[in-house]
Amino acid sequence: MELEIVGESVRDGSNPKFTPSRLINLYSEASDGLRVLRNVLGTTHRDTIPGVNMQAIESVAGTAYAVQGGRLYSISSGYVPSDLASVDDSERTTIDGNNGAVTIAANGKYYVWNGTSISQPSNLTFSNVTDVVSFAQRTILVEGGGRRLQWSGLLAPATLDGLDFATTESGEDFNLRAIPQAGALWIFKEQSIEQWYATADGIAYIAGSKADIGLKGRNLVVKLPNAVFWVSSDGRARLSSAGIVSTIAVEEAIENGEPVRCVYYRERGNEFACIIFGDRPAWCFNLTTQEWHERRQGETWDVRGILAEYGSQIIVDTFGNLRTLDPVNVDADGALVRQIVTRTLEVEGRPFKVPKLEYRASTGEHNATLQTRISKDRARTFGPRRDYSFGPVGEYQTRIIMRALGQFQTMNLELTMSEPVDSILGATVFLDVAR
């Protein structure tokens, strides 16, 4: 019997006995009709924005802007930050643009950067602005701790009329974020979502658009090219184009962990929507294969935002480090450690022997070592580590063959690599089942 080791992360932290399998810094995809495992993109360090507390990053009119440590910065195509102006330092910060101007909501305040100076426009209907977004050539201001929406003049984000506002229709729950999607403006609230459309005078509610599910946290939503991905108030991951996409393992992580934000990036024809946690690896959903994997550098993946600009994908962390996602085997200046914990191998309760395990990879110009451990108790504990070399430099298609691994009732493999191997093709376990 032959078993391919491919798939997705399904480990349920509350019950790992039955679902221990994990893919960390690897994901599964199809290649020439086969299921293979690929490395996630690594990162290349470019520069660092001064200070701490990266709050938001966004592109406006072809230029990247970021708010960190109470300052607004522009970021050049060479990834060099330039200090522009002062704003409040707050987790409740978003950036957008309108007619070339940069609009910012920070700590309840509304700012507009016109290219030379920053201002706080007057005539606000409410004093607590939690989000700003461009929609139908107007800037929409979203009230935090309330239900109102205010809009600017056409192509005039600094021009406000205190009477140009409306109140969200669904229930008494408060607004959190606004995201344009498929010609409508989605208003994410604490326990509901509703959609609005553009009118000649502003915006209006789309009758019957209310959904009785909200947003779990104001940063737990991200706009994709053709959809919205978010963590809903019931602790599930949802995609506007597909509905619920989370698994039991992902929902366990959301319930018992610290989900802090959602981000999106692309890689080799795949699209990934990720939930970033403050206390565990990120969970990343591959929209192409509809499968999940985990990503981490250390115990977590410190990402405050990912932005596609200047022909690259710029990633920023809490401390303002600017990196680009690249096909390298380094992440945050450290090794990109990839790890597989297989699902539990068992054959209807019968004992089996493993005469051979074959592991294949494309190593290219690098010598590499595979670290292996075996568990006989459903991944509760693992035996001693054994290291295997992929052979000499220049072997692009290499194999490791492990023989006579012993007899098992159940078997789990842990496979770890930290050296610069370009892509991992897969592994096959050969079983000899007792009659």
Nearest to 182 by CA among 238, 239, 226, 243: 226
- Give a yes or no: residue 371 inside a domain: yes
pLDDT at 423: 57
Alpha-carbon distance 374 to 406, whole Å?
Answer: 10
- The count of structural domains within the chain is 1
- Give a yes or no: residue 202 inside a domain: no
Burial class (CB in 10 A: 0-12, 13-18, 19+), 150: buried
pLDDT at 378: 86
- Give a yes or no: residue 345 inside a domain: yes
Nearest to 322 by CA among 29, 68, 36: 68
Tokens 């990834």: give the residue. 79
pLDDT at 62: 97
- Give a yes or no: residue 406 inside a domain: yes
What's the DSSP call for residue 41? P
- Give a yes or no: residue 260 inside a domain: no
- Give a yes or no: residue 262 inside a domain: no
CATH code for the domain in which residue 7 is found: 2.60.120.260
Nearest to 314 by CA among 360, 263, 374: 263
- Give a yes or no: residue 34 inside a domain: yes
Range of the domain at 14: 2-40+338-433
CB atoms within 10 A of CB 240: 17
Tokens 């701490």: give the residue. 52
Contact indicator for 334, 49 with CB cutoff of 8 Å: no
- Give a yes or no: residue 401 inside a domain: yes
Q: What are the residues whose beta carbons fall under 8 Å from the beta carbon of 129, sequence distance 6 or more? A: 105, 108, 109, 110, 141, 142, 143, 144
Contact indicator for 76, 82 with CB cutoff of 8 Å: yes
| C-alpha to C-alpha distances, 100 to 57, 109, 130, 380, nearest whole angstrom | 16, 20, 21, 56
Residue 258, Cα to own-chain centre: how many angstroms? Answer: 14
> In order along the chain (435 residues), what is the average pLDDT of each group of 10 residues?
66 61 87 77 96 96 97 98 98 97 98 98 97 98 98 98 93 95 97 97 96 96 97 98 95 96 94 97 95 94 97 97 92 86 84 84 67 89 88 65 86 84 65 64
